[in-house]
């Protein structure tokens, strides 16, 4: 089992290395793991030269994982919430 904060470097690696294996993505309905993962992914994107929006890159990265993309996008509206909206 991956600790929540361990998802941050995993999210970074997904962006930087293009990893797509199942273990590289946070579980559905786990808001804490998703936030850590998204933080790592977003930090790596922000440090890179990519001119696309983080949402565009996220959507391409999560192609075929529509429910995870939906849940990650839901974090935008409720950063103070402890549950997926």
Per-residue pLDDT of the chain (85 residues; tens, 9 = 90+): 788 889 999 999 999 999 999 999 999 999 999 999 999 999 999 999 989 999 999 999 999 999 999 999 987 765 444 455 4
Handedness of CA 13, 19, 23, 27 (dihedral sign): positive
Residue 21 domain boundaries: 4-74
- Distance from C-alpha of 24 to C-alpha of 13, rounded to nearest angstrom: 8
Question: Do the domain assignments include residue 85?
Answer: no
Question: Do the domain assignments include residue 68?
Answer: yes
Question: Do the domain assignments include residue 80?
Answer: no
The total number of structural domains in the chain stands at 1
What pTM was estimated for this model as a whole?
A: 0.86
41 touches 60 (CB < 8 A)? no
């Amino acid at each position: 089992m991956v600790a929540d904060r361990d998802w941050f470097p995993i999210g970074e690696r997904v962006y930087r290395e293009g990893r797509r294996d199942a273990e590289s993505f946070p579980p559905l309905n786990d808001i804490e793991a998703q936030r850590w993962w998204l933080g790592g992914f977003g930090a790596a994107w922000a440090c890179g030269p990519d001119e696309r929006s983080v949402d565009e890159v996220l959507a391409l990265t999560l192609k075929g994982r529509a429910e995870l993309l939906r849940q990650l996008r839901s974090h935008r509206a409720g950063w103070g919430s402890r549950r997926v909206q």
